């Protein structure tokens, strides 16, 4: 049982986890319109000090599975990545969730193909508020060329999942994402709802179909596209997970219904 938390920069616990999510840093190389991470930390220091890594090292030793998230891990420098990965036993199952912007072919070779990372989850839809306003729908699938490049380098490329947040700009791209996964031999696609308030904060709340931008017509279009993506996935051998979309849409629909009856 965990009996303590971080106090004065020290972790005090009497339990060591087998599965660990490590937040390496909170800085990023983009600013997705829906993401609140940068918002939450304000202008504070977005990178860990050495103390932080020294303090989590015992936890890294005990865990068998380590899932690394940022911010964006590949926004760190090569030296910083060496420092982090140098602290983890290379035999452990290390997975990294990334937008792939900083994951060049060289870096992929060093830390994934020939390195410690055993599994990659690549996020699409890294569109910023400004790009959204400028109608840059191409930014939703920006990472497709990088995914293709990685898939071409290696038969066993270690990309386990492609994931995408579905705001209005991405509603009609679900099947494309599944086809991209099949083309690149990626077995799993996760399509998720937009959570939080950030799109509204950027004055793009109406572009969030799970919030202010909800309508019954849009919800139907999303569910139809999701069902089609699942059909295509089944045919092409890609598992499509859209659970949170269905859950969230039924919740929003219910709240509109209840709100409307008042």
Ligand X SMILES: C[S@@+](CC[C@H](N)C(=O)[O-])C[C@H]1O[C@@H](n2cnc3c(N)ncnc32)[C@H](O)[C@@H]1O
Q: Which is nearer to ligand X, 13 or 104 (CB)?
A: 104
Q: Which is nearer to ligand SF4, 103 or 174 (CB)?
A: 103
Interface residue with ligand X among 55, 104, 137, 195 (CB under 6 A) is: 195
* Cis geometry, peptide bond prior to residue 71 (ω within 30 degrees of 0): yes
Q: Which is nearer to ligand X, 38 or 227 (CB)?
A: 38
Taking the C-alpha atoms of residue 142 and residue 200, their distance in angstroms, rounded to an integer, is: 23
Give CA separation, 259 vs 138, 207, 217, 251, 252, in Å: 36, 21, 18, 12, 10
Site for ligand X in 135-164 (CB under 6 A): 163
- Please, what is the end-to-end C-alpha distance for the chain in angstroms? 46
Contact yes or no for 188/120 (Cβ under 8 A): no
Under rule CB under 6 A, residue 35 binds ligand X? yes
30 binding partner (options ligand X, ligand SF4, none; Cβ < 5 to 8 Å by kind): ligand SF4
Q: In this structure, how many other beta carbons lie within 10 angstroms of the beta carbon of residue 219?
A: 19
In whole angstroms, how close is the CB of 219 to ligand SF4 at the nearest point?
A: 24
Binding mask 72-111 for ligand X (x = CB under 6 A): x------------------------xxx------------
119 binding partner (options ligand X, ligand SF4, none; Cβ < 5 to 8 Å by kind): none
Site for ligand X in 212-251 (CB under 6 A): none
Residue 165 tokens, joined: 């947040």
- Considering only the stretches 8-16, 68-76, 106-114, 219-227, report the one whose residues sit in contact with ligand SF4 under the rule CB under 6 A: 68-76
Q: In this structure, how many other beta carbons lie within 10 angstroms of the beta carbon of residue 150?
A: 25
Site for ligand SF4 in 103-132 (CB under 6 A): 126
Interface residue with ligand SF4 among 48, 60, 68, 71 (CB under 6 A) is: 71
HSE (side-chain half, CA atoms, 13 Å) at 77: 5
Taking the C-alpha atoms of residue 50 and residue 112, their distance in angstroms, rounded to an integer, is: 24
Looking at residue 109, the DSSP 8-state letter turns out to be I
Residues that bind ligand SF4 (CB under 6 A): 28, 30-32, 35, 37, 70-72, 99, 126
């Amino acid at each position: 049982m965990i009996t303590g938390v971080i106090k004065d920069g020290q972790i005090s616990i009497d339990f060591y986890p087998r599965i660990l999510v490590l937040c390496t840093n909170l800085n990023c190389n983009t600013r997705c319109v829906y993401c609140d991470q940068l918002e939450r930390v304000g202008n504070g220091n977005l990178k860990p000090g050495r103390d932080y890594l020294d303090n989590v090292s015992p936890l890294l030793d005990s865990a068998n599975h380590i899932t690394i998230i940022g911010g964006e891990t590949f926004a760190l420098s090569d030296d910083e990545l060496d420092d982090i990965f140098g602290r983890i036993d290379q035999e452990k199952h290390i997975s990294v969730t990334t937008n792939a912007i900083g994951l060049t072919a060289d870096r992929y070779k060093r830390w994934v193909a020939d390195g410690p990372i055993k599994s990659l989850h690549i996020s699409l839809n890294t569109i910023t508020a400004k790009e959204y306003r400028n109608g840059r729908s191409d930014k939703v699938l920006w990472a497709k060329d990088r995914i293709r490049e990685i898939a071409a380098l290696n038969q066993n490329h270690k990309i386990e999942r492609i994931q995408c947040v579905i705001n209005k700009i991405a509603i009609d791209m679900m099947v494309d994402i599944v086809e991209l996964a099949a083309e690149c031999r990626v077995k799993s696609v996760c399509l998720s709802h937009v959570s939080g308030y950030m799109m509204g904060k950027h004055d793009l709340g109406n572009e969030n179909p799970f919030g202010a931008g909800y309508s019954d017509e849009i919800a139907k279009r999303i569910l139809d596209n999701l069902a089609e993506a699942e059909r295509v996935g089944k045919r092409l051998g890609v598992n499509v997970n859209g659970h949170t979309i269905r859950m969230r849409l039924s919740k929003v629909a219910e709240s509109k219904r209840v709100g409307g009856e008042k």
